[in-house]
Structure 1
Amino acid sequence: MTFINHSSKDGIIGLLVGDAVGVPYEFLDRETIARHPAVDMIGYGTHQQPAGTWSDDGALTVALLVSLIHHPELDTIDLGRRFIQWYRQGIWAARGEVFDIGIATRKAIAHIEQDPTRPEQAGGNDEYSNGNGSLMRILPLIYKLVNKDAATRLDWITRVSSLTHRHPVSILGGLIYVEIGIQLLQSPSSTTLKQCYQQACQHINVQYADYPEIERYQRLLSGEIDQFPIEEISSSGYVVHTLEASIWVLLHTSNYREAILQAVNLGEDTDTTAAVAGGLAGIYYGYEQIPKEWLHPLARLEEMVEYCEQFDQQGE
């Protein structure tokens, strides 16, 4: 059962706002942030950017969104070209400036530039290529794949992830995230976040039981990640940690604002944890629950909402 009253701006703007709230705190450890916890959207800090500035997470999410507007059946050559436009020209960046990029993503974009005809071979596929750089930008596929079968979901997520991250652990992280997002889209509004999460875990444990790397996500897929104490939740850039931390904060908070601030206050990769959590929080709570004082300073808000509307029209 699919509920069609969801707008992609719930998740997309939810991600962009979360990213922007996290940007000033990136790389600060939990103890440092605890002395001056995040309580609002601010500017400057780590990257010296004005309030409302999203990072590479948001930019590459928008690049995927716009690529899918122009190529609804997925064209990874076009997507690779848009990644290059972002990195070299600042297109899709919040304010036309690239101030943050992961090592794996930078290497992958260089590979795409060298051979733009095979972008799906660009991403690293070794054990050390399992940062969160593909998870952070995969959210538009939640909306594209909600009515697709499991094989199509796996194919699209693998292809999109592989532009920067080809290792099965990274691909599986994207799969889990998309499946949880789809569960949120398909569940009645009376369903709790915990119920949506546990239902998604049950489906994933059956659907991807033969996936060897699923053991990496055992804590998350137990359906009880919220039972782990905060001391056992890492917010590093490792894709497994980011996914665990993001779901943990959703299950420990009761509205969009709380989820984003909790994600940021975990420290370290604050922009990505808040972006990944923010996308799902936006889907669950809705655009109207994103604080207006966080929307007002968000870079290019009207343009981003317009992109979301164009994207949504494809499904009508």
Structure 2
Amino acid sequence: MLPSKAKMIVKRDYFKDILFGVAVGDALGVPVEFKSRQEILKKPVTDMIGYGTYGMPPGTWSDDSSLTFCLADALADGYDLQKIADNFVKWRYKNFWTARGEVFDVGMATQQAIERIAKGARPDLAGGFDSHSNGNGSLMRILPLLFYIKDKPIKDRFTIVKEVSSVTHGHIRSAIAWFYYLEFARKLLSGGDLLEVYNQLKTDVTGYLNTTTIVRSEVEIFDSLLKQDIYTLNIDEIKSSGYVLHTLEASIWCLLNTSSYSEAVLKAVNLGEDTDTTAAVTGGLAALKYGFETIPEKWLIMLSRKKDIDDLAQRLAVKY
């Protein structure tokens, strides 16, 4: 029998952290998606609500979580790009991994890529490769890939990230955003302090990108993260549109200007515009930092398909 004062060491379940962290943030943002920051400011989101933009009950998550779960579902059986792509098609046309049996939100670039896959396109060539194809539709679903790449060399991590991004978003800018996000998440696995992680990435990510043939102008687009201190910016300088860079910047800004999971995701939602994606992307990292146990129970109770998400986390735990 343990001494009365002995502390039990609780093993972190990073799989639950990620899946529930993304889904809860997503569900918080769904009811107010597309509302402006000024409009939300009149009645800030402080809790899990429902209906609103899509008329969905509280706890309903959107395509952000659906595609995250589709990726995780494929990875639970190993890395197979075709299976990942096929899962996206099953989601879009057969309601696979939907919150309530229907697809009610899908980005244009993602829709076009899935149509190409359904017609037989190679997964790594399905996404758009032009500079206008840099919405946040690949960033929002990427986090489960962390478990597959975390122990690989940095060059391999970038190559795989670019490959998976290209299923829906093939431009190098989207790949860099994914890469930065997953490198941030990877360091959080080691329990790093948020500010220390942020500053370390300035060296690590910049150092790696400088070894590649990526044009400098694309790397310079990320200067707010790689050269500056984004957390010092005023909220008016943070954008929250569906552009991948805006979503990445907003999520890191929210994370570095809060001290808990709930604070981080609510700050993300209240930025307005693409509220579900900003909160989902923020929520994944915030849950890695603070743990599944810190997500308010009242939010988890309302979350759609909670048992299925838990089962998926267990499948990932067995594999990785």
1:22 aligns with 2:26: no
The aligned counterpart of 2:8 is none
Give CA-to-partner distance per residue, 1:249-299, whole Å, 9 cap, x none. 011111011101100000000000000000000100000000001000101
What is the SS of the residue equivalent to 1:268?
coil
Verify: 1:201 aligned to 2:205, yes or no. Answer: no
**Structure 2 CA distance, aligned partners of 1:222 and 1:45?**
39
Where does residue 148 of structure 1 map in the other structure? 152
Task: Answer yes or no: is the 8 Å Cα contact 1:183–1:197 preserved in 2.
Answer: no
Q: Which amino acid aligns with 2:110?
A: T
CA contact (8 A) 1:27 1:269 kept: yes
Matches within 5 A, 1:155-304: 155-187=159-191, 191-209=192-210, 210=212, 211-212=214-215, 213-222=218-227, 224-304=229-309
Q: CA deviation at 1:314?
A: 1.4
Q: Does 1:60 align with 2:64?
A: no
Checking the alignment, whether the CA contact within 8 Å between 1:111 and 1:122 is kept in structure 2 is yes
TM-score by length of structure 2 reads 0.93
1:39 pairs with one of 19, 29, 46: 46
- 2:19: which partner in 1? 12
Letter in 2 for 1:26: E
Query: Quick check: 212-221 or 19-28, which moved more?
Result: 212-221
The residue type paired with residue 182 of structure 1 is R
Q: What is the distance in 2 between the residues matched to 1:160 and 1:284?
A: 24
Structure 2 residue runs without a partner (length 5+): 1-10
Separation in structure 2 between the aligned mates of residue 93 and residue 48 of structure 1, nearest angstrom: 15
How far apart are the structure 1 equivalents of 2:301 and 2:41?
A: 27
Residue identity over aligned pairs, in percent, reads: 46
Displacement, 1:150? 1.1
Mapped to 1, the partners of 2:317 and 2:208 lie a distance apart of: 28
Corresponding letter in the other structure for 1:199 = Q
- Partner SS state of residue 163, structure 1: coil
TM-score by length of 1: 0.94
When residues 146 and 99 of structure 1 are mapped into structure 2, their CA distance, relative to the original with a 3 A threshold, is: same
Letter in 1 for 2:136: N
Corresponding residue number in structure 1 for 2:5: none
Which residue of structure 1 lines up, in the alignment, with residue 126 of structure 2? 122
2:45 counterpart SS class: coil
* CA distance, structure 1, for counterparts of residue 268 and residue 203 of structure 2: 25
Kindly state the Cα deviation for residue 6 of structure 1 after the two structures are TM-superposed: 4.4
Q: Are 2:97 and 1:97 equivalent residues in the alignment?
A: no
Name the Cα RMSD after superposition: 1.2
Q: Is the 8 A contact 1:225 1:244 kept in 2?
A: yes
Q: Give yes or no for contact 2:18–2:288 (8 Å, CA) kept in 1.
A: yes
Tell me the amino acid that sits aligned with residue 24 of structure 2.
Answer: V
Contact persistence 2:99–2:305 (CA under 8 A): yes
In structure 2, which of residues 311, 314, 317 is the aligned counterpart of residue 312 of structure 1?
Answer: 317
How many residues get paired? Answer: 306
**Contact 1:29-1:267 at 8 Å conserved across structures:** yes
| Contact residue 197 and residue 223 of structure 1 kept, 8 A | no
What code does the residue aligned with 1:21 have?
L
* Unpaired segments ≥5 residues, structure 1: none
Confirm or deny: 8 A CA contact 1:154 1:175 kept in the other structure. yes
